[in-house]
Amino acid sequence: MSLLLKIWLFLLAGAAVGVVLSRDSGYALLSFGNYTVELSLALLLLIVGTLFVTLYLGIRLIARTLHLPRDMRDWQQKRGSQMAQQAMTRGLLEMSEGNWHSAERRLVRFADRSETPLLNYLAAARAAQLQGAHERRDSYIRLAHETMPSADVAVSLTQAELQLADQQLEQALATLKHLRSVAPRHTFVLRLLRRLYEQLGDWEHLRELLPELRRRKVEGEIDLNRLEVRTHRALLEQAFLSSNARQLGLAWADVPRNLREDPQLLGDYAGYLQEGGEDNKAEQLLSTALAKRWDAGLGEIYGLLETDEPGRQLAQMEQFLADRPDDPILLLTLGRLSLRAHLWGKARGYLEACLGRNGPPQAYRELGQLLERMHEPEQAIDVYRRGLSGTGGPEPVPLPHDIGKTKANRPMLDEQQAPPRGALSGDAEPSI
């Protein structure tokens, strides 16, 4: 109940008493020792009421005086919180507008008075990062940790994200390993780890992480399948570059069964086997895969394999002709296999059919070489010319019929060959 209301109630009560006493005022006799005082009842009540009000107001004043320091502190705290909230709001607006320096200054100015200092310091860390101020960024991250130790995951995630964005990969790895130990199922931690391993080219650790990514549905199924294929392709390449046939076999053994018929993975592995001189092994893999489903890329690799039985390879590939008579890659493959089987006429027929169906440029080279060996140089030159003119791109610049030795034919100064090493002047003769 407010003081004003209390005063009004007191006055109303006094007025009511006054009305009653106006009908019969009465009197009061007060005796103290040898002294006696006689006064009207109304006056006595007025005096008592006045004393009561005075005493009440005095007590209230003393109480407010005693509570004044606390009330001042509460006011200052409230005022500080309001200023901190305004500063944070303005700082975030500055961030969105790209004013990183101003945003950082506003965010940290009243952070100690903010109701959410953690958010102030994390936002300030981002602003410092965008200015390239790594030391200030790390300082704000430490302050965020100290402000709210229980928010270790949130703070460390922000730290790892900023480190990744700044290509501080080793530092990011340490931060994410810590997060992995305290929050092993956190999807964002897993997503950042996936990004980090890709940037580091750490395909082995990424392979180990893939089951968890799939189990937690960190990415969509299509993206995970692509990532899995990419990872195993990289591991196969690493094993091949190690020049260790056993490592290559182990890398292929690690490929899940559902991916072993993937054209990209199978093509890579078969190609590495071929370069390692294991054409027969590659042929077995490709023939099995192609018997299930034709793939142009695998078919082209198959045609490059040098096995002990090219005739058998040719017969196997010719089985696809019934369903794919106009496939230029199949025709090129058959032409190459015919060449390996020394079937020159059949090879020529397949290669010409390939070119008749807009086959790849390699077919021109294969046919041109065959015609040279068959002592048909004019036909070979014609094939080579057709191959050069059909490489695509814009039409060549038209040239006049007679190009004389004019000034325009001389090379530009910067296009001329540099003088021989050791020549001191333009008149010096090159040493032989």
Q: What is the pLDDT of residue 6?
A: 63
Judged against a pLDDT cut of 50, whether residue 128 lies above it is answered with: yes
- Residue 377: what residue type? P
- According to DSSP, residue 361 is labeled T
Q: Which two tokens stand for residue 361?
A: 């440029």
Domain ranges of the chain: 309-389
pLDDT value of residue 72: 63
* Pairing between β-strand 35-40 and β-strand 27-32 as defined by DSSP bridges: antiparallel
Indicate whether 356 pLDDT > 90. Answer: yes
Residue with tokens 């390879």: 313
Q: Could you report the per-residue pLDDT of 2-15, keeping only the tens digit for each?
A: 656 666 666 666 66
pLDDT for the residue numbered 405: 46
pLDDT for 211 equals: 94
Q: Which pLDDT does position 226 carry in this prediction?
A: 95
Lowest mean pLDDT among 95-104, 188-197, 270-279, 328-337: 95-104
| CB-CB neighbours of 423 under 10 Å | 13
Question: Is the pLDDT confidence value at 432 over 50?
Answer: no
By percentage, how much of the chain surpasses pLDDT 70?
77
What is the mean pLDDT of the segment spanning 190-196? 96
Helices (H) and strands (E) in the chain, counts: 19, 2
Distance CA 54, CA 181 (A): 69
Kindly report the backbone phi and psi dihedral angles of residue 38, in degrees, each rounded to the nearest multiple of 5, phi listed first.
-115, 130
Specify the pLDDT at position 17.
59
Q: In percent, how much of the chain has pLDDT > 90?
A: 59
pLDDT tops 60 at residue 344 = yes
Of 91-100, 226-235, 290-299, 353-362, the one with minimum mean pLDDT is 91-100
Phi, psi dihedrals of residue 29, rounded to the nearest 5°: -115, 120
Which region among 30-44, 277-291, 328-342 has the lowest average model confidence (pLDDT)? Answer: 30-44
Q: What is the mean pLDDT of residues 108-115?
A: 78
Q: Is 258 exposed, middle or buried (0-12, 13-18, 19+ CB in 10 A)?
A: exposed
Residue 424 CA to residue 402 CA, distance in Å, equals 39
pLDDT of residue 119: 87
Average pLDDT estimate for 159-188: 94
Rounded Cα distance, 239 and 221, in Å: 27
Identify residue 277 by its one-letter amino acid code: G
Q: Name the phi and psi angles at 184, rounded to 5.
A: -65, -20
Token pair listed for 282? 């590659």
- Kindly report the backbone phi and psi dihedral angles of residue 91, in degrees, each rounded to the nearest multiple of 5, phi listed first: -65, -40
Q: What is the mean pLDDT of residues 128-155?
A: 93
Residue 422 in this model has a pLDDT that exceeds 50: no
Q: What is the mean pLDDT of residues 77-85?
A: 62
Is the per-residue pLDDT at 115 higher than 90?
A: no
What is the pLDDT confidence band of residue 342, given thresholds at 50, 70 and 90? very high
405 versus 208: the higher-pLDDT residue is: 208
- pLDDT mean over 113-117: 80
Cα–Cα nearest to 183, from 210, 203, 212:
212
Task: Give the mean pLDDT of 271-292.
Answer: 94
pTM recorded for the entire structure: 0.69
Q: What are phi and psi of 426, to 5 degrees?
A: -70, -20
Q: What is the mean pLDDT of residues 329-350?
A: 94
Q: How many CA atoms lie within 13 A of 191 on its CB side?
A: 11
pLDDT at 64: 72
Quote the CA–CA distance of 253 and 258 in Å, as a whole number.
12
Residue type for 432, please? I
| Band (270; pLDDT cuts 50, 70, 90) | very high
Q: How many CB atoms lie within 10 A of CB 100?
A: 19
pLDDT-derived band at 139 (thresholds 50, 70, 90) equals very high
Fold of 309-389: 1.25.40
**Distance (Å, rounded) from C-alpha 274 to C-alpha 200?**
29
- Render pLDDT for 199-232 as a digit per residue (tens, 0 to 9): 999 999 999 999 999 999 998 999 999 999 999 9
Res 400: pLDDT = 53
